[in-house]
């Protein structure tokens, strides 16, 4: 069984990885280790971890992983079955939106754990943005965000710009050799949020599409990032089942930011204000409340902001 897993993993790697030369080098190294008996007698979980570590030794790519599949995916093997499981998972996760509310002082707060495909999560995203549309500042909490879909990043962040003239990101696709541009959208359901300050919270868990969210806004000067340097994965991937219980995720593309010309692969996104992740919300909330006090808000809102500033959270 281990031979089948290794052979299939390496075939998928060499056929799809965004950096073909690295794929060939990594495959040769793993075949040499197999010939030396290094994978003999390993169960699936240990084998998957070893293969992931050995791939990282050559490729240093945090999206490139061999791993055990979730138990509820063991019978999900075809493309259509995987798409259906993804849709169902998004629905149960509320399309990544864990919490949305108006905080005291008229500050909006979004706790976003996953970036959903825009075609699936668009209505939920629009509803969340409608709830914070009239706030004076916005905190977007990505400290537990582990990624998602690039077009979901485009949908979310388009709300933070006035029109469709903001170039957000490019993604180079290895198999086709094409580069796709991502721009802010011309139409969005509900009101935009183009002017009020935005604070984005980060941690060393923030990953992939969550990092793109951060990186794009930082590069465009549209948000202040507060927290820890993110995990460092900038290569969109595809999942391939090897067996009902083992899969490989292979990066097939790479992000190219139109402002910086680079991305966050391996380095992570460095916040504008670096503090422990647990302290990021308090600092962002204080900054947001201080901004509210500079606005011509109603007296009741200003009083609320002053009271919140005096409280423990800020």
Is the confidence at residue 1, as pLDDT, over 70?
A: no
Q: What is the pLDDT of residues 271-313, one digit of tens each?
A: 999 999 999 999 999 999 999 999 999 999 999 999 999 987 7
Is the confidence at residue 44, as pLDDT, over 70?
A: yes
Q: Which two tokens stand for residue 52?
A: 């992931």
In this predicted structure, what is the pLDDT of residue 262?
96
Strands 224-227 and 198-202: parallel
Residue 115 and residue 189: Cα distance in Å, rounded? 18
Mean pLDDT of all residues in 200-215: 98
In this predicted structure, what is the pLDDT of residue 278?
98
Mean pLDDT of all residues in 37-63: 95
CA dihedral (224, 228, 232, 237) in degrees, to 10, reads -70
Going along the chain from its start, the domains and CATH numbers come out as 1-92+237-250 (3.30.750), 95-233+268-309 (3.90.226.10)
Q: Give 86's pLDDT tier (boundaries 50, 70, 90).
A: confident
In the three-class reduction of DSSP (H, G, I as helix; E, B as strand; rest coil), residue 149 is classed as: coil
In this predicted structure, what is the pLDDT of residue 76?
66
Residue 231 and residue 203: Cα distance in Å, rounded? 8
Q: Average per-residue pLDDT in the chain?
A: 95
In this predicted structure, what is the pLDDT of residue 81?
84
In this predicted structure, what is the pLDDT of residue 50?
97
Q: What is the pLDDT of residues 119-178, one digit of tens each?
A: 999 999 999 999 999 999 999 999 999 999 999 999 999 999 999 999 999 999 998 999
Is the confidence at residue 106, as pLDDT, over 80?
A: yes
Q: Which helix (H) or strand (E) holds 103?
A: strand 97-103
Q: Look up the pTM and report it.
A: 0.93
Which segment of 1-10, 54-63, 74-83 scores lowest on mean pLDDT? 74-83
In this predicted structure, what is the pLDDT of residue 9?
96
Q: Give 14's pLDDT tier (boundaries 50, 70, 90).
A: very high
């Amino acid at each position: 069984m281990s031979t089948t897993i290794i052979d299939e993993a390496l075939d998928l790697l060499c056929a799809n990885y965004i950096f073909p030369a690295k794929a060939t080098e990594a495959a040769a190294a793993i075949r040499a280790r197999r010939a030396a008996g290094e994978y003999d007698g390993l169960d699936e979980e240990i084998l998957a971890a070893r293969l992931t570590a050995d791939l990282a030794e050559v490729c240093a790519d945090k999206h490139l992983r061999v791993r055990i599949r979730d138990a509820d995916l063991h019978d999900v093997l075809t493309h259509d079955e995987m798409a259906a499981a993804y849709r169902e998972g998004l629905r149960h996760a509320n399309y990544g939106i864990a919490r949305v509310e108006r905080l005291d002082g008229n500050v909006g707060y979004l706790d976003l754990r996953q970036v959903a495909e825009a075609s699936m999560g668009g209505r939920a995203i629009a509803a969340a943005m409608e709830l914070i549309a009239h706030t004076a500042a916005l905190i977007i909490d990505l400290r537990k965000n582990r990624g998602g879909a690039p077009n979901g990043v485009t949908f979310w962040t388009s709300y933070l710009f006035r029109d469709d003239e903001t170039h957000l990101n490019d993604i180079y696709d290895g198999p086709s050799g094409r580069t796709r541009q991502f721009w802010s959208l011309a139409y969005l359901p509900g009101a935009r949020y183009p002017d009020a300050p935005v604070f984005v919270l980060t941690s060393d868990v923030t990953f992939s599409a969550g990092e793109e969210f951060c990186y794009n806004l930082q590069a465009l000067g549209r948000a202040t990032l507060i927290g820890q340097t993110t995990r460092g994965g900038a290569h969109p991937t595809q999942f391939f089942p090897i067996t009902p219980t083992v899969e490989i995720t292979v990066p097939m593309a790479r992000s190219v930011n139109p402002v910086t010309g680079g991305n966050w692969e391996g380095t992570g996104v460095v916040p504008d204000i670096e503090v422990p992740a647990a302290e990021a919300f308090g600092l962002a909330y204080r900054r947001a409340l201080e901004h509210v006090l500079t606005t011509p808000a109603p007296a009741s809102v200003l009083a609320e902001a002053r009271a919140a500033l005096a409280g423990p959270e800020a």
